[in-house]
Amino acid sequence: MALHLFDTATRAPREFVPVRSGTASIYLCGATVQGVPHIGHVRGVLNYDVLRRWLLHSGLDVLLVRNVTDIDDKILTKAAEAGRPWWEWATKHEFEFERAYDALGCLPPSVNPRATGHITQMVELIQRLIDDGHAYPADGDVYFSVKSFDGYGALSGQQLDEVQQGETPTRGKRDSRDFTLWKSAKPGEPSWPTPWGAGRPGWHLECSAMATNYLGAEFDIHGGGVDLVFPHHENERAQSNAAGDGFARYWLHNAWVTLSGEKMSKSLGNTVSIPALLERYRAPELRYYLVQPHYRSTIEYSDGAVAEAAQGYRRVEGFVRRAVAAGEVPIGRMAPEFAAALDDDLATPAAFAVLHNTVRDGNAALDDGDTPKALELAASVRAMTDVLGLDPLSAHWSEGGSDTPVREALAELVESLLAERQQARAAKDFARADAARDRLVQAGIVVEDTPNGPQWTVRNS
Q: What is the pLDDT of residue 403?
A: 45
Q: What is the pLDDT of residue 423?
A: 85
3-state SS, residue 115: helix
pLDDT in tens, 237-273: 999 999 999 999 999 999 999 887 777 666 666 678 9
Is pLDDT of 323 > 60? yes
Q: What is the pLDDT of residue 460?
A: 47
Q: What is the pLDDT of residue 459?
A: 60
String of DSSP letters for 43-109: HHHHHHHHHHHHHHHTT-EEEEEE-BB---HHHHHHHHHHT--HHHHHHHHHHHHHHHHHHTTPPPP
Q: Where in the chain is the domain with CATH 3.40.50.620?
A: 20-263
DSSP letter at 168 equals P
Please provide the CATH number assigned to the domain covering 20-263.
3.40.50.620
Q: What is the pLDDT of residue 461?
A: 44
pTM: 0.86
The dihedral region occupied by 222, where left means phi > 0, alpha psi between -120 and 50, and beta the remainder, is beta
3-state SS, residue 8: coil
Average pLDDT, the chain: 92
String of DSSP letters for 192-243: B--TT-SEEE-HHHHHHHHHHHHH-SEEEEEEEEGGGIIIIIHHHHHHHHHT
Q: What is the pLDDT of residue 200?
A: 96
Across the range 345-363, mean pLDDT stands at: 98
pLDDT in tens, 381-391: 999 999 999 99
Nearest Cα residue to 28 out of 6, 52, 53, 56: 52
pLDDT in tens, 180-227: 999 999 999 999 999 999 999 999 999 999 999 999 999 999 999 999
Q: Indicate the burial class of 169 (C-beta count within 10 angstroms; 0-12, 13-18, 19 or more).
A: exposed
Question: Which residues on adjacent β-strands are paired with residue 136?
Answer: 143
Type of residue found at 228: L
Across the range 150-161, mean pLDDT stands at: 94
User: With bands split at pLDDT 50, 70 and 90, how would you rate the model's confidence at 70?
Assistant: very high
Answer with the residue of higher pLDDT: 430 or 68: 68
User: With bands split at pLDDT 50, 70 and 90, how would you rate the model's confidence at 419?
Assistant: confident
Q: What is the pLDDT of residue 401?
A: 45
Across the range 36-60, mean pLDDT stands at: 96
Nearest Cα residue to 4 out of 62, 46, 54, 47: 54
Rounded CA-CA distance 232/360 in Å is 45
User: With bands split at pLDDT 50, 70 and 90, how would you rate the model's confidence at 453?
Assistant: low
Answer with the residue of higher pLDDT: 348 or 398: 348
Is pLDDT of 408 > 70? no
Across the range 225-238, mean pLDDT stands at: 97
